[in-house]
Amino acid sequence: MRKARAGAGAGMWAGAGIRQRIPALLRERTFRSYWTGRTVSLVGDEISLIAIPLAAVLVLGADAAEMGWLKAAELLPALLLNIPLGAWADRQARRRRAMIAADLVRAALLVSLPVAYLLDVLTLTQLYVTAFGIGALTVLFEACNNSLFVALVSRERYVQANSLVNGSRSMSWLAGPGIGGLLVQFLTAPFALLADACTYLASARFLARIDPVEPVPAPVGKGHFTAGLRWVVKEPSMRALFAWSGTIQFFNYMFHTLFVLYVTVELGLSAGVLGAILSAGAVGGLIGAVSSGRIVARFGIGPSILCGSVVFTLPLVLVPLADGPLPLVVVTLFAAEFLSCVGVMVIDIASASLQMVLIPEAIRSRVMGAFRTLNHGFRPLGALLGGALGAAIGLRPTLWIGTAGAVLAILWLLPSPIPATRSLPEPAPQDTIPA
């Protein structure tokens, strides 16, 4: 009898220990439902990133130009719709319902592809429309998500909550491509998309289980459409973050446009080695997400953003430096990708938490819509310049320009209030909203 009681007691203590190791937010049913839905959906997104292009290539025989159109259809909604859908979201009282509807329609669009394939009527036009539709609905989902997140999480838990969500994103980078590849291998590309459709249905189901008190919709008045952008111009920390982020996006896409070509052609690495290098980045991102809370607690929110910026951009200098014996080149690229992705996660978590506090609730979706439009607007410009310079002066010199420009982007932050911001400030007053 004593042994049985001892065993029961040990089990009880073990259970308590496990519960203590689970982050506090995940012990709350409402946030756990939200986070679970996001996690499943993020993995599904990574499956689609592989399955839709492979459906175009393997099933429909798309050429390079047609693949370019497919990528454009995927990216255009983020560039064109973030500001108008952000303005629309700020006027809504039931943003969660819009997110559920976006999930359901995205699932339906994905299901239409294997159905069309079975009926032998699948075309590239349908892939273009599906890619654009999913992109547009994703913009809508994210425009509403910012306000829902703030409704679910208290200010002092922003860093922890962002760490959990970004940890899920890193896990999706790590697991999603592999799962997608296996599904395409065994099910063919169109049927692999059914898995992503299921993730959207799961996301909708978990969102339906929560019902937080959402922020009051913003009144519609003169200047409603441009209020978010005008507020950013006047707020010094957000203005610095906008300039810094846009600069990094521009130079980073110069870099990434040529990275695969440089690694495979100039350095002579195989596709398998390249995949392993990119997986090292996913592991680095996961470590960055897990450790970001301790980094912010130790150094403060502003210094963590500065630290993340340096750790994100500076290791990429190793890429144009890579030279010599093949093992040394591989180790150098592994280090660059791993360390850079650690920095990305620290940046994302610290800066997202600061933005959530700084932005007045009434214009939150409009401000974030402007922010995403800026990010996506600079990406194609950087990619075009990177391609032109790569052809004109060579791959390695262009990579030097891209990495150096990204490192110097931190100069936008240094004269701003961000370096001195140790803790999350009080929420912005509503009277700071431009009329």
The pLDDT assigned to 173 comes to 67
Calpha distance 325→117 (Å, rounded): 47
Please give the chain's pLDDT, 435 residues, in tens. Answer: 334 444 444 444 344 454 556 777 888 888 889 888 888 888 888 777 777 877 887 788 877 567 767 777 887 888 888 888 888 888 887 888 999 999 999 999 999 999 999 999 999 999 999 989 998 999 899 888 888 888 888 877 887 887 888 777 767 766 666 676 667 767 777 888 888 899 899 999 999 998 888 777 666 655 555 777 788 888 899 899 989 998 998 898 888 778 877 887 888 887 667 767 877 777 888 888 788 888 888 899 999 999 999 999 999 999 999 988 888 999 999 999 899 989 988 888 888 888 888 888 778 878 888 887 877 778 778 877 888 888 889 889 999 999 999 999 999 999 999 999 988 776 655 544 544
Residue 102 tokens read as 């976006």
How is residue 103 written in tokens?
């999930």
Please state, in angstroms and rounded to a whole number, the distance separating the CA atoms of residues 397 and 419: 32
Of the candidates 79, 427, 82, 379, the one whose C-alpha atom is nearest the C-alpha of residue 228 is 82
pLDDT score at 275: 67
Q: How far is the C-alpha of 86 from the C-alpha of 371, rounded, in Å? A: 10
Nearest to 186 by CA among 198, 195, 173, 175: 195
Size of the chain, expressed as the number of residues it contains: 435
Which letter does DSSP use for residue 425 in this model? Answer: P
Q: Output the pLDDT for position 271.
A: 61
Whether the Cβ atoms of residue 321 and residue 397 lie closer than 8 Å to each other: no
pLDDT value of position 3: 42
d(CA 241, CA 367): 12
**Cα–Cα nearest to 252, from 78, 348, 382, 376:** 382
Neighbouring C-beta atoms of residue 125, cutoff 10 Å = 9
Chain centre to alpha carbon of residue 288: 14
Tell me if 48 sits within 8 A of 193, measured CB to CB.
Answer: yes
Burial 68-98 (b: 16+ CB within 10 A, else e): ebbeebbbbbbbbbbbebbbbbbebeebbeb
Whole-number pLDDT of residue 108: 95
Q: 116-122: which pairs have CB atoms within 8 A and are 24 or more residues apart?
A: 116/190, 117/55, 117/59, 117/188, 117/190, 117/191, 122/55, 122/59, 122/60, 122/190
- What is the CB-side half-sphere exposure of residue 35 using CA atoms within 13 A? 21
Q: For 374-402, give the DSSP string.
A: HHHHHHHHHHHHHHHHHHHH-HHHHHHHH
Alpha-carbon dihedral 24, 30, 32, 33, rounded to 10 degrees: 180
Quick check: 200 and 110 in contact, CB under 8 A?
Answer: yes
298: buried, middle or exposed (CB in 10 Å: 19+, 13-18, 0-12)?
A: exposed
Q: Which 3 state secondary structure label does DSSP give 409?
A: helix
Could you give the CA distance from residue 333 to residue 341 in angstroms, rounded to a whole number? 12
